[in-house]
Structure 1
Amino acid sequence: MDISSEDYDNYSSAYDYYAFEETPHDSAFPHALHIVSIVIYSLAFILGVPGNAMVIWFTGFRWEKTVSTLWFLNLAIADLIFVLFLPLHITYVATDFHWPFGKYFCKINSFIALLNMFASVFFLTVIGLDRYLFLAHTRFVQRHRTLRKSMILNGIVWICAGIIAAPALYYRDTTEIGNSVTICFNNFHDYDHSVMKRTHTALTLIRFFIGYLFPLLTMILSYSLLAIRIKDKNALGCSKFFWTVFSIVVAFFVCWTPYHIFSLLELNIHHSPEFREWIRIGMPISTSLAFINSCLNPIIYVLISKAFMVHLEASVAEIFKYTLRDISQTGVKSEQRVDSKSNPTVCETVW
């Protein structure tokens, strides 16, 4: 399919930013942003692969399975799947937005990126609701909070995330623009610009409301109630749990908020072309920030624990081992105490 540069500029980028055709009069600033993006993508890959793999190893294979470990296991799986695809993004930016991997990898790569975004925010939302129920509705937890039901709920989260990310498999496409450069882009073009605009707007708003605003409001409510509950209990284990999860949630929304803001601004390109330069500069920054989130959780697990200082001179694997064990032990014991009804209001930590 042949399209003009003007047509391409009207397409949405959906997760990766505009790959505008570079021309000699382009300023050096966007090129500098591309270099920064490559550095950040590479850093996310280098830290994210071993970091998330270690979390998966310890939570999935080394320790006793609990409802809490299952949430964080799936969160790490979502991040690991995404960072494994980062070399494709790195290559795309490094080659001045030439996509050499074919149409199907273009679709799959974008689908994986959106799947990670939705799965991560959904799991964080479920974790917040689960923690609140654990504290506020003990009898309900004793009857229904089982490992089997948790596994089913994890499956439902993955299915929902996959369904909402699925449009990428349909709309992502490749085409050549000038000098045999192949781009990977959202092909909303059906020779009807009004339909293209409506499709772009609908998908952006769905991502914003379902993948950002609704989870944000839900987590603000659940974690606010949780903070009140923890303050009343004044327990060390609760505080460790709260600050770990709070840090993860804050990191997620700090990383993803700029992306959603620029995605909404992107809608105005159809009506206000002056936004084009804002998007051209803002999307690389916001996308890079979103990418780095996939390697932050393992770092947070380390920094939040006293074991990091104690075992600072140990190997990276040992740091993760002691850190995650330090966080997890209280949670495992807490679940066991709740199951035995010996202390039905005890607070469970991260795991």
Structure 2
Amino acid sequence: MEQSNTTLPSETWANSSQSPAPMGAPYMAAAMLLFATFLVGLVGNGLYLWVLVMKMKRTVTTIWFLHLVSCSVLFTLLIPFFTVYILLGFHWVFGTGMCKVLSACTHLGMFSSAFLLALISLDRYTFTCHPIWSRRYRTMSWAQKLVAGVWLCSFALSVPYLVFQETSELESSRITCVDYYDTSRDQDRAETQAWRQHTHVVLFLVRFLLGFLLPFCIIAGCYSQMGLKMMEKGLARSGKPFKVMVAAVVSFFFGWLPYHLYYGLTLFKDLSKSLMGICQLICIAMFCFNVCFTPILYLFVGQTFHQVLRTSLFTLVKTAFYEDLDSDGVGPDSSGRIR
């Protein structure tokens, strides 16, 4: 983490020049929000993961969502560390090694979730607009290879945070987990300060372009083409799986846009601390929404309230992920059973 997902980048509240040591009411509220997110996210994402692994037939779509939910589980498991960090007044007690590892894991989850959502959108685009090609090449083998490639690319992009994240001791004996470029001192040579600033800009651009802008353009382009194709042929939308994917995309967009905007603002040194503090809290709130409420979106999207009340939780979770009958043939049959 430099200073996010979930990511929950430690950077979001690690920058000692922007995070006051005394625990104010807003930061206490943020810590409580994180704790509540951990509880709800652990139960919700854990339930989805259990159903996908243990109770559902393996298909291309379930592979996509199995790994997407795994990203949410990864974020959820990181939350307690950052909650303790906030409650201790931004004093890092877990050591330099954990500072580096948690930062890398945060960005691993961020990149992999972005790439998976882009991959899901491309999959739906080919299935809708190029069905013959999709039926021929849309196989379990290719899906597994693509998912492996997503994780390998995400890991490679996360490695720099093992190097550039470190702990720094302040005059107040408080230890913070910060980015390499946030530890510069007045006595550093001009070349060193310039290198730190260059590192800051490069990491931000890579994170923003590859972790947000490129996936979002792919997602928006795929859905736009799908919509035009459906309007042209007078086709209905593909039903539940389509809505689930849209819910995941919306959650990703609003969950991560404030984070990237915040780190864009950190490139400017003269912004007020109060503005940066507000942006930090918005990042925390939107991250919590992303981790905590995405499972709820999966569960309730496309369902009316009375249908939800009349459907068992277990059946609802399973049907939230069924594939189109024309795609993999694992949707519910006329009796409502999962094939």
CA RMSD of aligned residues (A): 2.7
Match of 1:105? 98
Matched, 1:58 2:51: yes
> Is residue 52–residue 80 contact of structure 1 (8 Å, CA) maintained in 2?
yes
Match of 1:343? none
- What SS class does the counterpart of residue 268 from structure 1 fall into? coil
**TM-score w.r.t. length of structure 2:** 0.85
> Is residue 59–residue 328 contact of structure 2 (8 Å, CA) maintained in 1?
no
Letter matched to residue 221 of structure 2 = L
Matched, 1:92 2:85: yes
Match of 1:326? 319
Matched, 1:155 2:148: yes
Q: State the Cα deviation string for residues 96-122 of structure 1 (Å, max 9, x = none).
A: 011111111111111111111111111
How far residue 60 of structure 1 moved from its aligned partner, in angstroms, is 1.7
Structure 2 CA distance, aligned partners of 1:20 and 1:119?
Answer: 25
Letter matched to residue 247 of structure 1 = A
Q: 2:126 aligns with which of 133, 137, 141?
A: 133
Q: Which has the larger share of helix? A: 1
Letter matched to residue 299 of structure 2 = V
Q: 2:164 aligns with which of 167, 171, 176?
A: 171
Q: How does 1:185-334 map to 2 (within 5 A)?
A: 185-188=178-181, 189=183, 191=188, 192-231=192-231, 232-235=233-236, 238-269=238-269, 273-306=270-303, 309-312=306-309, 318-319=312-313, 321-331=314-324, 333-334=325-326
How far residue 56 of structure 1 moved from its aligned partner, in angstroms, is 1.2
Structure 2 CA distance, aligned partners of 1:152 and 1:219?
Answer: 20
Structure 2 CA distance, aligned partners of 1:163 and 1:219?
Answer: 23
Q: 1:47 aligns with which of 40, 53, 56?
A: 40
Going from structure 1 to structure 2, the CA distance change for 1:21 and 1:141 (only over 3 Å counts) comes to: closer
> Is residue 103–residue 165 contact of structure 2 (8 Å, CA) maintained in 1?
yes
Structure 2 CA distance, aligned partners of 1:184 and 1:169?
Answer: 12
Match of 1:8? none
> Is residue 61–residue 323 contact of structure 2 (8 Å, CA) maintained in 1?
no
Q: 2:3 aligns with which of 13, 18, 23?
A: 13
- What SS class does the counterpart of residue 268 from structure 2 fall into? helix
How far residue 72 of structure 1 moved from its aligned partner, in angstroms, is 0.4
How far residue 211 of structure 1 moved from its aligned partner, in angstroms, is 0.6
How far residue 21 of structure 1 moved from its aligned partner, in angstroms, is 5.3
Letter matched to residue 327 of structure 2 = E
How far residue 217 of structure 1 moved from its aligned partner, in angstroms, is 1.0
> Is residue 244–residue 301 contact of structure 1 (8 Å, CA) maintained in 2?
yes
Letter matched to residue 259 of structure 2 = Y
Q: State the Cα deviation string for residues 304-337 of structure 1 (Å, max 9, x = none).
A: 14376334277xxx41x22233344452x32246
Q: State the Cα deviation string for residues 37-61 of structure 1 (Å, max 9, x = none).
A: 1122112211111111111111122
Going from structure 1 to structure 2, the CA distance change for 1:121 and 1:300 (only over 3 Å counts) comes to: same
Aligned length: 317
**TM-score w.r.t. length of structure 1:** 0.82
Structure 2 gaps of 5+ residues are 331-338
- What SS class does the counterpart of residue 324 from structure 1 fall into? helix
- What SS class does the counterpart of residue 82 from structure 1 fall into? helix
